[in-house]
Chains A and B, each alone.
Chain A
Amino acid sequence: MEYASQIMQYALTGLTLGGIYSVVALGFVVIYSVTGIINFAHGECVMLGAMVSVSCLGAGFPLSLSIFTAVVAVAVFGIIFEKLTVAPAKKASAVTLIIITIGAAIAIRGAALLVWGASPYPMPAFTSEQPLYVAGATVLPQSIWVMATSTAIFGGLYLLFNKSRTGKALRAAAMDRVAALLMGISPQRMSSLAFGLSAATAALAGAVVAPITTATYDMGLMLGLKGFIAASMGGLTSVTWAILGGFFLGLLESFGAGLISSNYKEAFAFILLIAILFRNALSGSRSKTVEKKV
């Protein structure tokens, strides 16, 4: 019985982590599909979302308004970010673009350190702090918030991409940029939209996870990298695989830390990354050929 409840505990922790990784992974997929860019500053949007929410709460805003402010502010930030860093270097090679977004991420992290300092900011849980008991395992109500929010984000994005004109335009731009241009869709606007949209979802993820992890200036680096690993499981273009990848990564980390070694918790994700990449390399399959689908 003891063992079963432990497994349940790891599973719940893993699903909470996985929800966040999935949302971050989706941001990578949206940007990569529409613009062909891997945005290494994406994790910083999660950090900014968490930090702005905490600051707004500290300034006396109610919770819902704080989160709303954070999401809007970070979405605007995402659009400005695209205009300042990626748009001027449209013709650059993939490696140049990667270094540009890494440089931008470093600058954002430095600015956050300047504004908020190095100490972690606690954020109160949305509802009660009292843990619930599920099959012998404890779960924080905030974890349920995380899972519910990520599910809501998946649903919202699904509706946006499949039921709205804007979403169709984004999908068209992802499938074939030239054809989309001929249909009167501006790739420039779609690029801004993709950055804004993924920044907004990342900010929401950051605000929801902050009560569990606390908000620190450097939380974005690892969250961003792991979201990227989850996204790369499906070749960076598949939404379904990005979500599954995120949950798989969350469970892997939680079970790995529980059953193998908690010291190497952070390493599992990267070992998985290298394993995926090398399998692709050695089997000769190119992730690029994976069907583009948003």
Chain B
Amino acid sequence: MLGTKTKVLLILWLLFMAVLPFVMPNQYYLGNLIIVGLYTLVGIGLCLLMGFAGQVSLGHAAFYGLGAYSSALLTVHFDLSPVLALVAAAVLTGLIAFFLGIPAMRLEEHYLALATLGWGIIVFIFFNEQTSLTGGPSGFSGIPYFSIGPLVFSSDMSFYYLVLAVVALGMLLAYNLVHSRMGRALRALRTSEAAAQSLGIATSRYKNRVFVISAVYASISGSLYCHYVTFISPSPFGFQASIEFVLIAVVGGLASIFGPVFGAAAVIALTEGVGAVMPKFFPYAGSEFEIIIYGCLLVIIMIFVPEGLTAALKKKRLRDKIEFGYRLLWRGLKDASRGC
């Protein structure tokens, strides 16, 4: 199914990511990498929705949070195994997204943006106020580590490889989806909904389906997150997080499966970089700069490269050089395998 170029890119990326923890100076960076992986997963789902179906969501943190809280509740109160809880959480979140999507996916551009924004805020208020269920602002603790049968992912290192595997799987599935009948239908409806309808594409059904898929991606990422940190409070699932997810999708480039990988890495690197560098210049300043730079970055990217960095890269000569490199490498690999 995979094209040659994508195959090489995917293998190179996997190798790079697999080796990366060994060259990392300390545990702190590993923790960041795990968060990058989790955000990438949400970003892939959002790219499918925004880039391929052309629908915006400003409330994806709600699905991320629903996944996290469902997994937490199911494993702590019902003693479900984390894998089962993850699946149950994904099914539940998917169902919620399905029923939300029936009316929401009929809305046009900015009304959809608002409906999803409102949805995100309602769910956030729910997490804060349903203290008997979620623990409210003080949080929910005692979540077990992720485990598959007897295999427990209690160390950062093992959890990192778990996340890497899930992200790779998520990318593969998304890639196949984009190149399936459904993917073509989605791209058709993004270009012109009326034209797509006239060709017999059930546009609102397809839009709803991709909305559910993107919500499931977010839910799985949230489930993994809750088992990683073992303590959750509502704050990572607010409006700010929804905007971060959009930023990840936008920075990476909307219509690209590799986009979110770059997007998530760039966003986390930015947050951490600003947090590390800024205090040296302004000893009293804290997270304010992060917020300012975030906002400015969103504005600048949307004004100058609304199609994202990967797409901007493609336009340049750089692309030809990179392609030449791929071809050389691929031929080399083929020759090498023939030699064996």
Contact = CB atoms under 8 A, between A and B. Distances in A.
Contacts of B285: 114
Interface stretch (A1-9, A86-94, A148-156, A181-189): A86-94
Contacts of B239: 221
A287 B111 contact: yes
Contacts of A111: 288, 292
A217 to B, nearest CB: 9
A282 interface: yes
Contact of B292 (A99, A102, A114, A225): A114
Contacts of B56: 95, 98-99
A96 B110 contact: no
B109 A107 contact: no
Given A104-B299, A281-B103, A94 B110 contact: yes
Given A94-B109, A274-B118, A281 B104 contact: yes
Given A107-B299, A110-B295, A113-B291, A266 B113 contact: no
Contact of A107 (B58, B117, B291, B302): B291
A140 interface: no
Interface string B235-262: 0000100010010001000000000000
A277 interface: yes
Find the residue from A88, A103, A225 having the highest chain B CB count within 10 A. Answer: A103
Interface string A205-246: 000000000000000010001001100100000000000000
B113 A103 contact: no
Nearest to B294: A106
Given A228-B114, A287-B111, A105 B295 contact: yes
Nearest to A228: B114
Given A92-B302, A110-B291, A274-B118, A266 B125 contact: yes
A83 to B, nearest CB: 12
Contacts of A99: 56, 246, 250, 298, 302
Contacts of A270: 118-119, 121-122, 125
B327 interface: no
A85 interface: yes
Contacts of A92: 302-303, 306
Contacts of A266: 121, 125
B244 to A, nearest CB: 10
Interface residues of B, number: 40
Interface in A237-292: 263-264, 266-267, 270-271, 273-274, 277-278, 280-282, 286-288
A107 to B, nearest CB: 3
B170 to A, nearest CB: 24
A108 interface: yes
Q: Which of A106, A229, A273, A277 has the most CB of B within 10 A?
A: A106
Interface in A91-132: 92-96, 98-100, 102-111, 113-114
A79 interface: no
B294 A110 contact: yes
23 contacts: A92-B303, A93-B109, A95-B113, A99-B56, A99-B246, A99-B298, A100-B302, A102-B298, A104-B299, A105-B295, A107-B299, A110-B289, A113-B291, A114-B289, A114-B292, A225-B117, A264-B125, A267-B121, A270-B122, A273-B114, A277-B114, A281-B104, A281-B106
Interface of B: 56, 58, 103-104, 106-111, 113-115, 117-119, 121-122, 125-126, 129, 239, 243, 246, 250, 285, 288-292, 294-299, 302-303, 306
- Pairs of residues from A and B, 5 with the lowest C-beta to C-beta distance, nearest first: A103-B298, A107-B295, A110-B291, A106-B295, A110-B292
Interface of A: 38, 85, 88-89, 92-96, 98-100, 102-111, 113-114, 221, 225, 228-229, 232, 263-264, 266-267, 270-271, 273-274, 277-278, 280-282, 286-288
